Amino acid sequence: MNQKRHRLDHTPYLVAPGQKIRLKDYDPGFTAGFKNKAEGKAALLEDVSALAEAQELLWASAQHAVLIIFQALDAAGKDSTIKHVMSGVNPQGVQVHSFKAPSEEERRHHFLWRPMKALPACGRIAIFNRSYYEEALVVRVHPHFLEAQWLPQKLRDKNNKQFWKSRYSDINEFELIATRNDTTIIKFFLHVSKEEQRQRFLERLNEPEKQWKFSVSDYKERAYWDDYVTVYEDMLNATSTEWAPWYIIPADRKWFMRALVADIITARIEALNLAFPQVSQEQLSALEEVKQQLEQEGVQGDKVTR
C-alpha cells in the first residue's frame, strides 16, 4: 500500500472513553486551518485514492471487516458524505444500510436483531446511514415509539433511567463482540449547527431539484432540537468505548467534513497493516506452468498468421 502522511490530527474529534462532552464545546464550523473549499477538495481527492488502495487490501486479505456508522440531525450531510468519500471504492465490497422505522417483525425482536444481520463479512465495508443508535436517540425523544416494541418485562417502564442504561450497555457489548471478531467500527456524529440546518432546509425548499429531499417531518423534528442535543450528549458519553469510539465531525462546511471523514476512515484501515495473500511455492509453480502455456499459445498463433 502507498502509505501517505495524513494531514489531519484526529485527536480533537475523538470522544475518549469516559470523557463527558458537551456539544456546545465543539464548533460545527471548525475547519482545522483549511482555508477554503479548494483545499478541502484536494485533501478529499488524496484520501479517496488512498481509501481505494486500502479497500483493495481489505478485500484481498479477507481477514477484517469495517463497519462505518453515521449519525446526525437532519440535513447534516450524511448522504452526500457517503457519496463523496466512497466514490473511489469498489462497490462490490461495500454495502450501505439505511435504517428506517422497524418493521412489525423487527419490532418483535431485540432492537439489535436488525443490525446483527447487516454486519459486514470479512473483506467488506458496511455503512450504516443512521443505525441502531436511533433506538437510543429518536426513540428517547419520542418514547411512545416504544409502545409497539417488544421489551423485556423488567424494563417496561420507559421513563426509568435504567431502561436507557440497559440499551447503552447492550450496544457496547454488541460492538465489543463485533470487534473481537475483527470488525473495525468507525462511528461518526456529524455535528451541524441549528442555523446551518435552517439554511439547508431553505435551500431544499427554494430549489425545485432539491425539494424531494425535504420532509415536513424534518421541520417538525427541529422543534425538539434541545432534546436531541441532550440525548446525543448522553449517548456519546455512554457509548464511546476503547473498541468503538465516536468522532464528532464539524459539519457546517461540507467540504471539510468530507475530507476529515475520508482521512479518518483511510487511517483506520491502514492501521490494520493488511497485506496481500502470500502465494505458496506450489501455487507459484502452477502459475508458472500456466504462464508458459499461454506464452506458447501466442507463439503458435504467430506461426499460423504467418
The whole-number pLDDT of residue 302 equals 65
CA-CA distance, 71 to 192, in Å (whole number)? Answer: 11
**Same domain membership, residue 234 and residue 92:** yes
**Same domain membership, residue 286 and residue 145:** no
Q: Over the range 155-180, which residues count as b (16 or more CB within 10 Å of their CB) and which as e?
A: eeebeeeebbeebbebbbebbeebee
The CATH number for 133's domain is 3.40.50.300
Which positions ≥6 away from 285 have C-beta within 8 Å? none
**Same domain membership, residue 212 and residue 264:** yes
Is 2 within a domain? Answer: no
Tally of domains within the chain: 2
The whole-number pLDDT of residue 306 equals 55
CA-CA distance, 207 to 32, in Å (whole number)? Answer: 31
Q: pLDDT tens digits for 260-277?
A: 999 999 999 999 999 998
Q: In terms of pTM, does the model score above 0.85?
A: yes
**Same domain membership, residue 89 and residue 62:** yes
- At residue 190, the 3 state secondary structure works out as strand
Low-confidence ranges of the chain (pLDDT < 70): 1-6, 157-159, 301-306
Element (H, E) at 11: none
**Same domain membership, residue 216 and residue 285:** no
**Same domain membership, residue 61 and residue 116:** yes
**Same domain membership, residue 206 and residue 163:** yes
**Same domain membership, residue 303 and residue 236:** no
Angle 151-138-221 from CA coordinates, rounded to 5°: 145
**Same domain membership, residue 169 and residue 50:** yes
Q: pLDDT tens digits for 207-222?
A: 888 888 888 988 999 9
**Same domain membership, residue 168 and residue 71:** yes
The whole-number pLDDT of residue 154 equals 78
Would you give the distance in Å from CA 5 to the centre of its chain? Answer: 22
Is 291 within a domain? Answer: yes
Give the residue numbers spanning the domain of 288: 281-306
**Same domain membership, residue 49 and residue 93:** yes
CA-CA distance, 65 to 19, in Å (whole number)? Answer: 27
Q: Note whether 58 and 123 are within 8 A (CB).
A: yes
Which positions ≥6 away from 266 have C-beta within 8 Å? 4, 6, 47, 50, 51, 54
- At residue 95, the 3 state secondary structure works out as strand
**Same domain membership, residue 210 and residue 77:** yes
The CA–CA distances, whole Å, from 126 to 118, 234, 298 equal: 8, 25, 43
Is 267 within a domain? Answer: yes
Is 3 within a domain? Answer: no
Q: pLDDT tens digits for 23-41?
A: 999 999 999 999 899 999 9
